[in-house]
């Protein structure tokens, strides 16, 4: 693809999940029609990752949690390139795809999410190890097979987040759903459940806790008979056994551990784009700290944890936060291209709303500041959390498929 005509500019979005899809819709909304919006994404579909916690238990099938991207973009007048970015030529403002195409841009937003860093722990992960994952659809389907094997041959279960991880909500949700399914299958006596986490205490969530979240989570675990191990470091995973720092060994018949995240290879191999871990440093406009026409949104944005914890634990970047970042970035990209109002959103002011589903109940929490003290934190638990998550899924999927996002 060659450069754009003189008065027409091109905004390019790399990645098309929560952050990328939102950025593309917002750019199309803000930019005059003469300007082009192009999306580069290797998957031909969008996956609603929050519902992947239900896929292993047969509560959702792939078609329930995905939709094809190309028709949605075609309807909106957005060009979709179904390929991955291999690297970025920042000097010449081009994205180089794995297929060898050079896509020129006037403004760029990188929304490539994380690389799942299973390789930081021997034996971790579904590809070269022994634990399961629900971080993408393929992994969730593999976890479904592992769950079916477990039902034939049940035993202890271990769920959690590895050291350096940040996606704590997903591991809590998966834990609670697994416990719910074990109870429904009448396997409680043969399948004790253990939760391991890098958080300094249960209910920390990478945010320092929200209101009385620690007490609530501890009480809930007590009620369900789940052992929770905070400040946890996994030293090695072997077939059917996780070893923790200090030597404790946890046997398992089924285990799902969310890994730590790194930046994707396309960012890491582009000098000057990411930090040493591959995350992109941005200012309050979600513009790269050093590079004028480059923005980033979503999980691939660099956010330093507000406090050091004994075991490294990152700040969670939820889908809802990724969308806020994408909206801010897109508005500023449009302002760069054709003028207009700019927008800033310091991470310290961003709020986080999280619904943790527990199978038939759950916890909803809202922190009014992801970083720092929340003035009006809220935590609520009960069946309404389960129904809220289902409503979130239905409204999100329905509106995005139509190209008219609400929520
Ligand atoms: C099990 C689970 C449950 C969750 N539940 C919730 C929830 O209830 N609520 C909530 O708000 N958040 C939830 N989250 C978090 C949420 O899924 C993430 O915050 C969100 O997916 C981040 O969006 P993103 O666009 O930054 O990155 P991602 O969703 O990771 O998407 C990145 C996209 O970039 C593409 N990409 C990667 N590399 C390249 C490349 N080189 N070139 C082009 N494209 C590339 C990928 O294919 C992908 O489509 C959950 C996460 C998990 C794992």
Q: Is 132 in the pocket of ligand 1 (CB under 6 A)?
A: no
Does ligand 1 come within 6 angstroms of the Cβ of 18? yes
Same domain, 294 and 387: no
Looking at residue 404, its pLDDT comes to 84
Looking at the structure, tell me whether residues 221 and 313 fall in a common domain. no
CA–CA gap between residue 275 and residue 287 (Å, rounded): 14
3-state SS, residue 374: coil
Pairwise CA distance, residues 242 & 317, whole Å = 27
pLDDT score, position 141: 98
Cα 5 to middle of ligand 1, angstroms: 33
- Whether the full predicted model's pTM is greater than 0.75, yes or no, is yes
Do 166 and 315 lie in a common domain?
A: no
From the alpha carbon of 53, which atom of ligand 1 is closest? 1
Residues of the chain with pLDDT under 70: 1-6
First-to-last alpha carbon distance for the chain, in angstroms, is 34
Task: Identify whether residues 160 and 249 lie together within a single domain.
Answer: yes
In contact, 74 and 81? CB cutoff 8 Å: no
Is the CB of residue 40 below 6 angstroms from any atom belonging to ligand 1? yes
| Residue 142: inside a domain | yes
d(CA 40, CA 287): 19
Using the mean position of ligand 1's atoms as its centre, give its distance from the Cα of residue 319 in Å.
Answer: 7
Same domain, 131 and 227: yes
Q: Which two tokens mark 201?
A: 């205490």
**Contact, 295 vs 109, CB < 8 A?**
yes
Q: How far is CA 387 from the centre of its chain?
A: 21
- Centroid of ligand 1 to alpha carbon of 279 (angstroms): 14
Name the residue at shortest CA distance from atom 53 of ligand 1. Answer: 135
For residues 362 and 286, membership in a common domain is answered with no
Number of independent structural domains in the chain = 2
The answer to whether residue 407 sits within a structural domain is: no
pLDDT of residue 2: 45
Domain check: are 77 and 138 in the same one?
no
- Which domain, by its residues, includes 32? 10-115+262-348
The pLDDT of residue 3 is: 44
Maximum separation of any 2 CA atoms in the chain, in Å? 70
Domain with 166 in it: what CATH number? Answer: 3.50.50.100
Q: Collapsing DSSP states into helix, strand and coil, what is residue 352? A: strand
Model pLDDT, residue 6: 62
Q: Which residues contact 364 (CB under 8 A, 6 or more apart)?
A: 353, 354, 355, 356, 378, 379, 380, 381, 384, 385, 388
Whether residue 211 sits in one domain with residue 355: yes
126 Rama class: left (phi>0) / alpha (psi -120 to 50) / beta: alpha
Closest CA to 151 of 180, 192, 185: 185
């Amino acid at each position: 693809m060659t450069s754009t005509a003189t008065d027409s500019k091109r905004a390019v979005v790399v990645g098309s999940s929560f952050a990328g899809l939102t950025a593309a819709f917002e750019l199309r909304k803000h930019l005059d029609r003469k300007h082009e919006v192009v999306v580069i994404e290797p998957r031909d579909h969008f996956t609603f990752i929050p519902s992947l916690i239900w896929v292993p238990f047969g509560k959702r099938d792939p078609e329930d949690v995905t939709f094809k991207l190309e028709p949605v973009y075609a309807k909106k007048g957005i060009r979709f390139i179904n390929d991955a970015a291999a690297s970025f030529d920042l000097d010449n403002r081009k994205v180089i795809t794995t297929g060898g195409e050079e896509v020129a841009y006037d403004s760029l937003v990188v929304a490539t999410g994380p690389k799942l860093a299973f390789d930081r722990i021997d034996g971790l992960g579904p590809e070269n190890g022994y634990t399961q994952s629900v971080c993408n659809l393929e992994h969730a389907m593999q976890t479904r097979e592992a769950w079916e094997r477990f039902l034939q041959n049940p035993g202890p279960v271990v769920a959690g987040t590895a050291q350096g991880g940040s996606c704590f909500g997903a591991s809590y949700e998966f834990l609670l759903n697994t416990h719910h399914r074990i109870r429904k299958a009448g396997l409680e006596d043969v399948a004790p459940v253990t939760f391991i986490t890098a958080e300094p205490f249960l209910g920390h969530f990478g945010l320092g806790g929200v209101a009385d979240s620690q007490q609530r989570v501890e009480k809930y675990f007590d009620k369900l008979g789940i052992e929770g191990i905070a400040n946890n470091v996994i030293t090695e995973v072997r077939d059917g056994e996780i070893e923790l720092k200090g030597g404790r060994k946890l046997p398992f018949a089924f285990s799902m551990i969310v890994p730590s995240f790194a930046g994707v290879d396309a960012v890491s191999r582009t000098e000057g784009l990411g930090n040493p871990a591959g995350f992109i440093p941005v200012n309050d406009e979600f513009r790269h700290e050093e590079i004028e026409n480059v923005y980033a949104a979503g999980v691939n944005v660099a956010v330093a944890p507000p406090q050091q914890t004994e075991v490294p634990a990152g700040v969670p970047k939820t889908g809802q936060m990724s969308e806020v970042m994408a909206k801010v970035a897109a508005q500023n990209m449009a302002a760069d291209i054709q003028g207009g109002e700019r927008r800033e959103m310091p991470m310290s002011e961003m709020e986080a709303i999280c619904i943790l589903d527990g199978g038939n109940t759950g916890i909803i929490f809202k922190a009014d500041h992801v970083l720092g003290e929340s003035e009006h934190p809220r935590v609520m638990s009960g069946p309404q959390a389960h129904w809220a998550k289902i409503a979130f899924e239905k409204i999100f999927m329905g509106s995005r498929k139509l190209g008219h996002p609400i929520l």
